[in-house]
Structure 1
Amino acid sequence: MAQGFPKGSLPEGQSTHRPPLLDNVPFDYWKNRISTFLRGQDSRMWHMLTHQYHTPTKEINGIKIEKPFDEWTALERELDELNARACNTLHCALPQDDYMKISMLNSAKEIWDKLVITYEGTNEVRDAHINRLVHEYELFRMSPSESISDMYTRFMKIINTLHSLGRIYKNQDLVYKILRCLSKEWDAKVTAISEAKDLSTYPLDQLLGSLISHEQVIAQRDKLDGSSKKEKEKGKTIALQVDDNDEPSSSSSNEDSDEVAKLSRRLGSLLRKKNQRYKKSKNYKFQTKKFPTGEGIICYHCKKPGHIRGDCPDLIDSKKKEMDVERKSD
């Protein structure tokens, strides 16, 4: 008995003697599980779901009537027992609503066909479902940043559903499809596998293992590269930090000199550009036109060209006169 559960209350999955319950699970998922369960109990029970069972009869005067039980042969009794066991297993696997739909049926095949029609529909509905899944299979691609395991899970969900509906793909087709659906980052690995393996006989499980192994190697390499990159950046940051009490090294002095030289050249270039723009301006043209000597400078004190206010002779003379007057007064 499983630990943690009271006696007589083993949940599904804790006992090999309890059939999988068709309760809030996809029918194709339950269909595969119940078929495996029936084969595990007795392989002939699954045969009863695919072949119609009829009660033994005998013919009297050209009329078929049901044979009395005491006249049954050993084989007929065995077949009846297998049919009853298969019916009982299906009854135990169904919730109440589904049980009410098949409670009047007497053969396992009739019960099975009723469930298939209920959940999968008629042949037309099933064919439409198959066509939709085939379309998904043909357009299947690996999503960006998706792991191999997640991609394979999505892929096998489509394949298993198609298998339950009777559409079966060969291993070779699945291998080719997986290799075609991988993203561009896997082109090198796909080429290596295609050249080294015979894809017509290469098992799908081995392909999955090879892809997962390669994915783990790439993840480990990226992790190491990321760590080394962080260490380099950290080293650069430490190298650029200079203590306030430390004297600058010769290399740092040379770098400072280079920076000063660059700034000087840039400042000179800016001044030249500014002078060129001034020569193109209207003010410069007006001054050069008014003063053909090319001086272009007007004193703000005497309004005469050729000098500025600080060098104006009239202003200098007036200042000297004022100073002489002050000396005489003293």
Structure 2
Amino acid sequence: MITSDLNLDEFFKVSQCGFAKEMWDILEGTHEGTQNVKRAEKHALIQEYEIFRMMKGETILDVQKRFTHIVNHIISLAKIFEREELNIKIFKCFDRTWQPKVTTISESKNLTTLTTTSLFGKLREHKLEMNRLNDQENKEKHVKGIALKAAGQKGDQDSSDYSDSETFNLLTRKFDKFSKKNNREKSQPSNRYNSKNVNEFNSTNYTYFGCGIQEHIKVECPSNVSKEKGGYKKFEKKGKSRRAYIAWQNNDDSSSSSSSKGR
């Protein structure tokens, strides 16, 4: 019965044995090792079990596979675990981010009756829910970022439009002010012909260079006035003094005598 289930290589290992017990011991030692090998392997597995932790980037399913593989090998080496011990070991292998869920399960469930399969199932369910919430938050942040960017661009455009409008209004006000000032200057007479300046003009402050007499200008000079009777009245109507009239007469008489001598 033993040799019928062995391949050729295994058969050659036990073909020289005379008893079935001898064959079994050889096969057991080849595949399971001696007692010393079993003991060394058992200690190595226990140490790996004690330092078991969830690795970075590892999923719950990966953690379950590694943990189950270690525990089964230790159990095959005659090590017995209680359910509560295994569940507590699973809780300790997770980092701080899993502590809320771990605390909830440990307080709501009986660890002495809870199997490791059920425990890993609840952890996987929690992880899927967290992934769903994270995806939803990322989408909301993305939409909010697009909205803020669009609002910022709109605000910049509104600010630019407002600045352009203010510049246009300023130019309009300046142009209106300039137009009103220009129209007002055109409607008023020049200072040269202002009535105030005309009223303030007084010919008595000037001296005509032709006759050398003060208090008149060229158009009012006695030499240009007719010598007909009542000539002084014309002077008097214009507000000229008698002295100016006498000077004019003397000048006229001297001119007449000079012309007689010439004849």
Asked whether the two chains share a fold, i.e. TM above 0.5, the reply is: yes
Deviation, structure 1 residue 158: 0.8
Match of 1:155 in 2: 67
Superposed, 1:1-330 pairs within 5 Å as 84=1, 87-88=3-4, 90-91=5-6, 94=7, 96-105=8-17, 110-242=22-154, 248-249=157-158, 253=162
Letter paired with 2:91: L
Deviation, structure 1 residue 118: 1.2
Deviation, structure 1 residue 155: 0.9
- SS of 1:124's equivalent in the other structure is helix
Whether the 8 Å CA contact 2:3–2:11 is kept in 1: the answer is no
Over 6 Å off, 4+ runs? none
Distance 1:222 1:237 in 2: 22
- SS of 2:53's equivalent in the other structure is coil
Whether the 8 Å CA contact 1:144–1:183 is kept in 2: the answer is no
Letter paired with 1:181: C
Letter paired with 2:126: H
- SS of 2:79's equivalent in the other structure is coil
Deviation, structure 1 residue 248: 4.1
Residues 111, 177 of structure 1: alpha-carbon distance in 2 compared, 3 angstrom cutoff: farther
Q: Which runs of 5+ in 1 are unaligned?
A: 1-83, 258-330
Distance 2:3 2:81 in 1: 31
Whether the 8 Å CA contact 1:141–1:181 is kept in 2: the answer is yes
Alignment size in residue pairs:
164
Q: Which runs of 5+ in 2 are unaligned?
A: 167-263
Deviation, structure 1 residue 188: 0.4
Percent identity of equivalent pairs: 34
TM-score normalised per structure 2 = 0.55
Residues 135, 111 of structure 1: alpha-carbon distance in 2 compared, 3 angstrom cutoff: same
- SS of 1:199's equivalent in the other structure is coil
- SS of 2:81's equivalent in the other structure is coil
Whether the 8 Å CA contact 2:53–2:93 is kept in 1: the answer is yes
Residues 171, 239 of structure 1: alpha-carbon distance in 2 compared, 3 angstrom cutoff: same
Match of 1:5 in 2: none
Task: Choose 1 or 2 for highest CA Rg.
Answer: 2
Residues 109, 167 of structure 1: alpha-carbon distance in 2 compared, 3 angstrom cutoff: farther
- SS of 1:140's equivalent in the other structure is coil
Whether the 8 Å CA contact 1:87–1:107 is kept in 2: the answer is no
Distance 2:147 2:39 in 1: 65
Greater helix proportion: 2
Deviation, structure 1 residue 189: 0.7
Whether the 8 Å CA contact 2:32–2:38 is kept in 1: the answer is yes
Distance 1:152 1:193 in 2: 17
Distance 1:87 1:139 in 2: 42
- SS of 2:54's equivalent in the other structure is coil
Letter paired with 1:126: K
Match of 2:249 in 1: none
Deviation, structure 1 residue 116: 2.5
Whether the 8 Å CA contact 1:174–1:204 is kept in 2: the answer is yes
Residues 106, 225 of structure 1: alpha-carbon distance in 2 compared, 3 angstrom cutoff: farther
